[in-house]
Amino acid sequence: MATLVDHPGEPDFLRRLVLDNPWWDGITDDKVHHLSPRAFFKRFWTAVEKNDGSKAVILTGPRGVGKTVMLRQAISQLLDGDTPRRHVCYVSLEHPLFMELDLVRLPKMLRATRGISADHPLWLFIDEVSYQRDWESSLSRLLTVDPMLRVVAVSALAPTAAAKSHLTTLFLPPFSFAEYLEQRGINPRDVLPAAPNASRYTADIPDGLTELNHLFEDYIYEGGFHDRDGEAGAIHRSLHSDLPGLHGISSPSDLHRLFVLLAYNTGSEFSIETLARELDIAKNTLRRYLDYLESAWLVRRLERVDQDARLFQRAVAFKVHLIHPGLRSGLTGGRAEDSATMTRLVETAIQTQFLASNAGMESLFYARWGHYEVPFVFLDRRNGTPLFAYHCLWRDEGIRKPREVRALVNFKTAHALPLGAFVLTKAQWHGGKLGGEAMRFEPASVLALRIGLEFSQL
């Protein structure tokens, strides 16, 4: 005899929602009251306040950087205002029960059971929305069923370009170096050394720089994420959850192998051909897996330009950086043992600082021609003019061996670089010339802190 199979229904969903929304019963949600808002919260809250229902506000970014915390802080902000408590609903689609929830039916269900008039806004905060298949189209349909609905969601995956018409997307990056110091109770400006008035190489180390470098190394290994052991957690939750399978990854083991290779060699140049040969994976599959790792905010590809700062018509090579260098130590469990690896980690930390700015994300490239490479070139996207360029060393002896930075010298000879050519060092901090070109030598830790402080004000 056949057995009838029951499925969760509206009463089950509502019971779970009552537990997840304690403010409906007048109970204060104290999960985030002791956590200070990130610098980015101001931008996020502005987008939430301006939400008129025509688009959903999507907060995306790596695992473990505080997206859910920020979502709950926005809820607290609403509840502390004049928004009725029953008009605010939080739902996490990571909870197994809600895998069968039809998002489009949720507003009608809430209005019917919670006594919310159709004439008043209903705020729907959706956590882990990317756990629902076709989540972008679900949000699009959701926005059409209730003109007074205001949707704010967190996604572990970046939305596709096709979804921009109905989404307002904000990216929450890992902590900048400046934010990391604040999390440790250190005022970043208090530990930023004063720039020395030096025009040549000196063995003297500016006051406070040794301490700042120690802090910078701590940041490189453990400083990008909200939670303790956040680096390992970000990897685990992005690769070892149901998420890859839900989004078309047929072989998680190959995805893991690809990530390990990229993470171990963060800051290196790759091509699809070399990766396919190294991992014995089909090229089309590799492209799909790279797209997933990038959409899951584990890695970021930098496009290549030539000596004339022009993009290649057929891009066969690209650089891959981890979204934060701490992911490498989260993977290996240790620190870099050689200067070459440490230099690549420092480069990765520098690109992390630019993630807080859309302009920074879109304008950062690397230049390579022949045997020459400039790790970072910042272009004015309006006209393609390079504004500044960085060469990175986590040591100082290269300053007296200009051959190591000849690529930057050649690039500076070919371009005005109105904002400067920088050799990023460990302790050297002065102006000078190499090959007749003006250069600025600056500690990488100082530059990372300056970038973070600048973008935190935006």
Residue 173 has pLDDT above 80, yes or no: yes
Dist. CA 304–CA 376, nearest whole Å: 10
Residue 226 has pLDDT above 80, yes or no: no
Dist. CA 9–CA 13, nearest whole Å: 6
Does the pTM exceed 0.75?
yes
Mean pLDDT to the nearest integer, 365-388: 94
Residue 433 pLDDT: 84
Strands (DSSP E) along 361-451, which ranges? 364-369, 372-380, 385-392, 421-425, 430-434, 437-443
Residue 80 has pLDDT above 60, yes or no: yes
Ordered domains of the chain (ranges, CATH): 10-171 (3.40.50.300), 177-455 (no CATH)
Residue 338 pLDDT: 84
What average pLDDT does the structure give for the chain? Answer: 89
Position with higher pLDDT, 115 vs 141:
141
Residue 265 pLDDT: 95
The alpha carbon of 321 is separated from its chain's Cα centroid by a whole number of angstroms, namely 11
Residue 201 has pLDDT above 70, yes or no: no
| Residue bearing tokens 């956040």 | 230
Burial 157-171 (b: 16+ CB within 10 A, else e): bbbeeebeebbbbbb
Residue 319 pLDDT: 97
Residue 133 pLDDT: 83
Residue 11 pLDDT: 83
Mean pLDDT to the nearest integer, 405-430: 93
Task: Find the helix or strand (DSSP H, E) in which 270 lies.
Answer: strand 268-270
Choice among 77-91, 168-182, 300-314, 328-342 with the minimum mean pLDDT = 328-342
Task: Find the helix or strand (DSSP H, E) in which 274 lies.
Answer: helix 272-279
Residue 1 has pLDDT above 60, yes or no: no
Q: What pLDDT, in 10s, does the model give residues 10-35?
A: 888 889 999 999 999 888 777 666 67
Q: How confident is the model at residue 398 (pLDDT cuts 50, 70, 90)?
A: low
Residues 6 or more apart whose CB falls under 8 angstroms from that of 299 comprise 259, 262, 263, 290, 293, 320, 321, 322, 323
The candidate with the shortest Cα–Cα distance to 347, out of 267, 237, 432, is: 267
Residue 180 pLDDT: 93
Q: What pLDDT, in 10s, does the model give residues 276-308?
A: 999 999 999 999 999 999 999 999 999 999 999
Position with higher pLDDT, 408 vs 332:
408
Q: What pLDDT, in 10s, does the model give residues 309-356?
A: 999 888 889 999 999 999 998 888 888 878 889 999 999 999 999 998
**Distance (Å) of CA 57 to CA 141, 167, 184, 206, 443:** 15, 6, 30, 45, 38
The CA radius of gyration of the chain, in Å to the nearest whole number, is 24
Residue 457 has pLDDT above 70, yes or no: no
Give me the half-sphere count of Cα atoms (radius 13 Å) on the Cβ side of residue 361: 13
State the DSSP code for 189: G
Residue 401 pLDDT: 67
Query: How many other β-carbons are positioned within 10 Å of the β-carbon of residue 38?
Result: 23
177: its two tokens? 């170096």
Dist. CA 239–CA 266, nearest whole Å: 18
Mean pLDDT to the nearest integer, 254-280: 95
**Distance (Å) of CA 176 to CA 31, 270, 451:** 24, 26, 9
Residue 107 has pLDDT above 60, yes or no: yes
Residue 32 pLDDT: 65
Burial 77-91 (b: 16+ CB within 10 A, else e): ebbeeebbebbbbbb
- Helices 209-222 and 444-455 sit at what angle, rounded to 10 degrees? 70
Q: How confident is the model at residue 161 (pLDDT cuts 50, 70, 90)?
A: confident
